[in-house]
Structures are given as C-alpha cells and as structure tokens.
Amino acid sequence: MRYGNIKKILVTGGAGFLGSHLCERLILQGHEVLCVDNLFTGTRTNLKHLLNEARFELLRHDVTFPLYVEIDEIYNLACPASPVHYQFDPVQTTKTSVHGAINMLGLAKRTKARVLQASTSEVYGDPEIHPQPEEYWGRVNPIGFRSCYDEGKRCAETLFFDYHRQHGLEVKVVRIFNTYGPRMHPNDGRVVSNLIVQALRGEDITLYGDGQQTRSFCYVDDLIEAMMRMMATGPEIAGPINIGNPSEVTIRQLAEVVLDVTGSSSRLIHRPLPPDDPRQRCPDITRAREILGWEPTVPLRQGIEKTVLYFDRLLAEHRL
C-alpha cells in the first residue's frame, strides 16, 4: 500500500473540529486521506477546502458499523466530545466509543495498520492528583451524566491495550486535554466557544460556580502536531501519553482574556456548577516532552485571537 513515504490514512471523525485539522495536515504532507464521519457533530463545511483534493475522500459512515477498506494508518477520533452533544444520546455515545474502537481495532488487525486512539483527559474524572500523570487511574463516576463519554473512552483504552497484548497490534493512545481553535462548533457548550460567542453577541457571559475552577487550554495546531508525532513513534511506544497545555488558568481569567480580545462590554454572570464538573484539570506532559519532544508553543491570547476571528466570520456569514 505504501508508495515511498505516502500512506493511505483513515481518519474517523474527520469532519469534526480536530479531525478536519488533522486531515488538512495529512494532505499537506502528501498522504491519501479517507475521512469517515456520520456528520452528527462534524460538517462538510469544515472540509470544503479539501473536497476537490484528489488525495482526499469523504465517506459518510458510522463507526459503530464495520468498515472494509485497505489502509496503512488509522486515527480514531470518532465520538461527540462536548457534554451538550454526548449527552444528547448517551447510549449512542457509549456505542461510538466502544463499538467504534472494536471495529477500528478489527480493521487494523486485518490490514496490519498502526492505529491511534484519541482518548481524553475525562478518563481522570474529577481528579485527586494534580497535575494528572498517565499513571493516575482517575476518579470517575460510572453512573453519572458524563459517564457515557468518560467510561466509553476508558473502555476504548482497555480494548486498545488488550488488542496490543493479545494480538500484537501496534497501537497509540493519547489523552487529549482541553483544545480550542477555529472550527469549534458554535453551540457545543464548551467553555471557549461559549465565552467567545456570548462576547461577540454582547450577551451576558456565563461562568459556572465561582469561576475559579481551572483548565489548561491547548491551541489546535499544537495538539495536531503532538498526535502526528505520536503516530510516528516506534512500535514500542503505545502510551498512554497526555497531550495538552500544562499552563493552568481559571475560567474567570479565560473570560477576561476573551472580553479583552473581543472588546465586548458583556457582563460576567454566575450559574450553578454542572454535576461531576471537575474543579481542576491539567496535564503532566513529562512523557510528551521526553518521548515526543513536544510541548505547546501557541500562547493563550494568540490562540484566542485566531479563534475569535473564526467565530466573528462564522456569526456574520450565518447570522447565528
């Protein structure tokens, strides 16, 4: 299947926020990309600049059903990733993580492809250890409103490592922390998109709880670079490896940056904290630094400026 360094690469969830950026980078590297998405949260608009590329193909398909293609590498990103989307149909969310992992691992086993799982910092739940190293097993509520996503991703990791041990499959697992940038869904309920859209519309900006809960925000370009470096590691590197920004900010500080960048006069208002919302979330990226030679390079304000430009255009075009 390989012609020189050109590979046939499958990206599930490729029409989504992260997936579309990944497809773009892979095409720029000269690879052939098969993007698979059921378009539940992803959109063709995210890929409009790639649709006429000869080396790019978009296939509408749900990963809970098997897929029969010939492939060299698989990036498994398929799954709604924001609470408003993954709680819409929690049973389907769990199926996407678990059945999707089984189907992609089966495909990788048949084609002898290398396969990367986009896992999540949600596997740590509401952590007792801070920052979170990969050795930490987490503190997750298995029956809560977020469990369909948290436990689905944890089960997917289990499947990846069991296929690795039982079948010798070459797997890569990365745990993705908060990521932001252009092509985020405007109504995904995530804090960055929420704050920016509210500020641009001049609406009150909603902070949950006292706004002192902390997160770490990684710009999408940095995140994609880490994923691709992980895929390029040798067969002895399976992970998991945290990828995210180790610089913490409070949600209130983030809101103040957004207000400053947008020049908005929106007011900050407070609402009750959602169930199982973690107070702290920050990666220990020691492994990423040592194994991948990677750490984030885009400062928060610079990334927010680029993201604001995207949402400003989007709101103007669609009058959202």
How many CB atoms neighbour CB 161 within 10 A? 17
Q: Does a structural domain hold residue 261?
A: no
pLDDT band at 3 (very low <50, low <70, confident <90, very high): very low
Counting the structural domains of the chain, the total is 1
pLDDT in tens, 70-79: 999 999 999 8
Which residue, 147, 134, 310, 307, is CA-closest to 217? 307
Q: Does a structural domain hold residue 241?
A: yes
* Mean model confidence pLDDT for the chain: 92
C-alpha count within 13 angstroms, C-beta hemisphere, residue 177: 31
Euclidean distance between CA atoms 87 and 228, whole angstroms? 29
In the predicted structure, residue 278 carries a pLDDT above the cut 70:
no
Contacts of 250 (CB under 8 A, 6+ apart): 211, 212, 213, 214
- pTM of structure: 0.92
Helix (H) or strand (E) holding 22: helix 17-28
Average pLDDT over residues 129-144: 91
pLDDT in tens, 286-300: 999 999 999 999 999
Q: Does a structural domain hold residue 133?
A: yes
Give the structural domain span for 174. Answer: 8-180+219-246+278-297
The CATH number of whichever domain residue 168 belongs to comes to 3.40.50.720
In the predicted structure, residue 4 carries a pLDDT above the cut 90:
no
Q: Does a structural domain hold residue 33?
A: yes
Q: Return the active site residues.
A: 149
Q: Does a structural domain hold residue 190?
A: no
Q: What are phi and psi of 3, to 5 degrees?
A: -120, 100
Q: Does a structural domain hold residue 269?
A: no
Strands 248-250 and 214-216: antiparallel
- Evaluate whether 300 touches 217 at the Cβ level (below 8 Å): yes
Q: Does a structural domain hold residue 204?
A: no
Q: Does a structural domain hold residue 214?
A: no
